[in-house]
């Protein structure tokens, strides 16, 4: 009959973003999407476009990124696909889990169907930063007050226009209102974690908010300054974009625990 | 009077060994000693030889390495020396603490005066290794039985001839008896830690013993095989040298808590 039947695979991906030029495909530069498409072609013998849920910049890490790709009807099970892809991928990117989407889930879109994303920005205020953490935290000179930072972070909860934290790449016609479901600052020894969950983020939004929380934590600004920027409506008013290496994509959620139906772990 | 008065500084050093050709000076290769001597010359304006307590190979890490160097009588305090050295050093090596040795401790030798060294070799037996740990653990295919490994490790306690675990670099006239004070295997989630403390180690000894513990943990050998190699007296009989990236120098002890007298942290 000539009908093309495809298999849609779901990927849970972790990476150390240090040596990538971000997640999104760029000519001649190493990217998450590029590496994935290259190894998928090696394993399946055909090119397949990879869709990723969240865009991460150069140097930003992911514990839990979601991707999909389609290939012609294929008999490889989840476990074999994971092993095969990991055997070709470099060690700084790993497929943690693979699912095979059934025919009723064939239109699943990892980006559009996500209902929330959780990111963490990690500060470290030890006197000397242990070498092991150098690519994963923002090392602060001075001591952070995490309680006052948490007070600032809590003001982000709810629906706000984040245009004051937008970068150049946010276009004038882009919708800049987002809803924040969770926003907290906690400390574990010398690590201060800013965790935020929202229905979406503008480009550089978290790194800019982290820059403001840093000033708050060092006592240079009052936590109420957050309100000022949420009310300001001045595009890109807050200009201090912190290093990408403190930022990590931690989780992505879909309606009705969609992922869990297809994953083995 | 022309009398040369020197100041002896004590360094506590941490490093990620991944991008170093070991601790010991080598022509045209990046080493711990080489980097330290370069930055000391930048800070003090004169060359000074650095003595390190323990020799670590390419790829081996250190949480706690001890070093010393002498410069002409100098007024820089410990804190300033640490800041100055760290500002020049690359981020994969850090001076965690600095002490100034008083005149009665001027003959302190970080290598000869050490009474024990603790190393840890870390295995990880998760199905997929998270990218963040790729340079710090040995990823095992299969599940390790840490209890049976611990049984094997306990047989190392006491005074033994470790010649069967010696590498090519151990010369025929070298004394190969060492005393092991502590030797345990413990698990935390997917991480299995082999921790060993001894008055000294032969070159490659721990990586070879770790290779044997791996076979024991996978059920390929009985823990009693340890006894066989301790009794064998066959030079380098055990040839499986595991990857350096699982190995880390954790601690070094001196008589009468010597270091604590001079350190600020």
> ∠ CA(B95), CA(B45), CA(B67), 5° rounding?
30
B61: nearest CA partner in chain A: A132
pLDDT at A75: 78
Query: Which of A15, A94, A127 lies nearest to residue B129, judging by beta carbons?
Result: A94
Domains of chain B: 6-112 (3.30.70.580), 115-251 (3.30.70.660)
Residues of chain B found within 8 Å of residue A265, distances taken between Cβ atoms: 127
Residues of chain A found within 8 Å of residue B134, distances taken between Cβ atoms: 16, 91-92
CB of A191 closer than 8 Å to CB of A217: no
- Look up the ipTM and state it: 0.89
Query: Chain-centre distance of CA A200, in angstroms?
Result: 10
Helices marked H in chain B: 32-44, 78-88, 146-154, 205-217, 225-232
Query: Left (φ > 0), alpha (ψ -120 to 50) or beta: where does A59 sit?
Result: left
pLDDT at B72: 86
Q: Does A14 contact B131 at a Cβ distance shorter than 8 Å?
A: yes
CB of A26 closer than 8 Å to CB of A224: no
pLDDT at residue B4 tops 80: no
The CA distance from B11 to A196, in Å, is 40
Residues of chain B found within 8 Å of residue A14, distances taken between Cβ atoms: 130-131
Mutation site for A-interface testing, chosen from B59, B60, B128, B245 by largest number of A Cβ within 10 Å? B128
B83: nearest CA partner in chain A: A128
pLDDT at residue B19 tops 60: yes
Residues of chain A found within 8 Å of residue B92, distances taken between Cβ atoms: 131, 134
Mutation site for B-interface testing, chosen from A14, A120, A131, A245 by largest number of B Cβ within 10 Å? A131
pLDDT at residue B73 tops 80: no
Percent of the residues in chain B that have a pLDDT greater than 90, as a whole number? 86
Q: Does A92 contact B134 at a Cβ distance shorter than 8 Å?
A: yes
CB of B133 closer than 8 Å to CB of B42: no
pLDDT at A102: 81
Residues of chain B found within 8 Å of residue A131, distances taken between Cβ atoms: 14-16, 91-94
Two tokens, residue B102: 């008083």
pLDDT at residue B241 tops 50: yes
Closest alpha carbon to A234 in A140, A145, A142, A166 = A166
Query: Which of B15, B127, B128 lies nearest to residue A131, judging by beta carbons?
Result: B15
CA atoms in the 13 A half-sphere facing the CB of B29? 12
User: Which residues of B sit within 8 Å Cβ distance of A?
Assistant: 14-16, 61, 63, 82, 86, 91-96, 127-132, 134, 136, 265
pLDDT in tens, chain A (265 residues): 445 678 999 999 999 999 999 999 999 999 999 999 999 999 999 999 999 999 999 999 999 999 999 998 777 899 999 999 999 999 999 999 999 998 878 899 999 999 999 999 999 999 999 999 999 999 999 999 999 999 999 999 999 999 999 988 888 888 999 999 999 999 999 999 999 999 999 999 999 999 999 999 999 999 999 999 999 999 999 999 999 999 999 999 999 889 988 886 6
Shortest Cα distance from A18 to chain B (angstroms)? Answer: 10
Q: Kindly write down the DSSP assignment for every residue of chain A, as one continuous string.
A: -----EEEEEEEEEE-GGGSS-SS--TTS--HHHHHHHHHHHHHSS--PPEESS---TT-EEEEEEEEEEEES----HHHHHHHHHHHS-TTEEEEEEEEE-GGGTT--TTTTEEEEEEEEEEE--SS--GGGTTTSEEPSS---HHHHHHHHHTT-EEEE-GGG--TTS-TTS--EEEEEEEEEEEETTEEEEEEEES---TTHHHHHHHHHHHHHTTSS-TTHHHHHHHH--TT-------GGGEEEEEEEEGGGGGGGT---
Q: Kindly write down the DSSP assignment for every residue of A122-157, as one continuous string.
A: EEE--SS--GGGTTTSEEPSS---HHHHHHHHHTT-
Shortest Cα distance from B92 to chain A (angstroms)? Answer: 5
Shortest Cα distance from B159 to chain A (angstroms)? Answer: 34
pLDDT at A4: 61
Query: Which of B16, B82, B131 lies nearest to residue A93, judging by beta carbons?
Result: B131
Residues of chain A found within 8 Å of residue B127, distances taken between Cβ atoms: 265
pLDDT at residue B78 tops 50: yes
Mutation site for B-interface testing, chosen from A11, A88, A132 by largest number of B Cβ within 10 Å? A132
B138-139 and A177-188: which strand pairing? unpaired
Cα-Cα end-to-end distance for chain B: 37
Q: Does B128 contact A93 at a Cβ distance shorter than 8 Å?
A: no
Q: Does B128 contact A86 at a Cβ distance shorter than 8 Å?
A: yes
Q: Does A131 contact B86 at a Cβ distance shorter than 8 Å?
A: no
Residues of chain A found within 8 Å of residue B61, distances taken between Cβ atoms: 132
Q: Does B91 contact A134 at a Cβ distance shorter than 8 Å?
A: yes
Q: Does A129 contact B93 at a Cβ distance shorter than 8 Å?
A: no
Model confidence at B181, in pLDDT bands (50, 70, 90)? Answer: very high
- Dihedral sign (CA B138, B144, B150, B155): negative
Tell me the average pLDDT of chain B. 94
User: Which residues of A sit within 8 Å Cβ distance of B?
Assistant: 14-16, 61, 63, 82, 86, 91-96, 127-132, 134, 136, 265
CB of A110 closer than 8 Å to CB of A51: yes
pLDDT at A145: 98
pLDDT at A47: 96
Two tokens, residue A25: 């495909």
B139: nearest CA partner in chain A: A91
Two tokens, residue B33: 């000693």
């Amino acid at each position: 009959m000539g009908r093309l039947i495809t298999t849609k695979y779901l990927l849970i991906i972790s990476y150390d973003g240090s040596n990538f030029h971000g997640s999104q495909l760029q000519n001649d530069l190493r990217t998450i999407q590029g590496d994935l498409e290259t190894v998928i072609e090696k394993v399946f013998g055909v090119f397949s476009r990879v869709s990723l849920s969240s865009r991460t910049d150069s140097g930003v890490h992911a514990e839990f990124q979601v991707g999909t790709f389609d290939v012609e009807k294929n008999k490889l099970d989840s476990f074999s696909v994971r092993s095969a892809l990991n055997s070709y991928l470099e060690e700084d990117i790993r497929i943690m889990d693979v699912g095979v989407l059934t025919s009723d889930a064939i239109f699943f879109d990892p980006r559009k169907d996500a209902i929330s994303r959780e990111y963490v920005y990690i500060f470290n205020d030890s006197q000397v930063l242990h070498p092991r953490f150098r690519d994963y935290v923002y090392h602060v000179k001075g001591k952070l007050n995490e309680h006052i930072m948490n007070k600032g972070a809590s003001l982000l909860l709810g629906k706000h226009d984040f245009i004051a934290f937008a970068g150049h790449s946010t276009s004038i016609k882009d919708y800049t209102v987002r809803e924040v479901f969770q926003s907290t600052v906690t400390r574990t020894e010398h690590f201060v974690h800013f965790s935020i969950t929202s229905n979406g983020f503008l480009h550089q939004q978290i790194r800019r908010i982290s820059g403001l929380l840093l000033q708050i934590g060092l006592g240079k600004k009052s936590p109420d300054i957050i309100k000022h920027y949420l009310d300001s409506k001045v595009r890109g008013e807050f200009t201090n974009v912190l290093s990408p290496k403190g930022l990590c994509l931690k989780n992505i959620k879909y309606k009705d625990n969609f992922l869990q139906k297809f994953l083995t772990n």
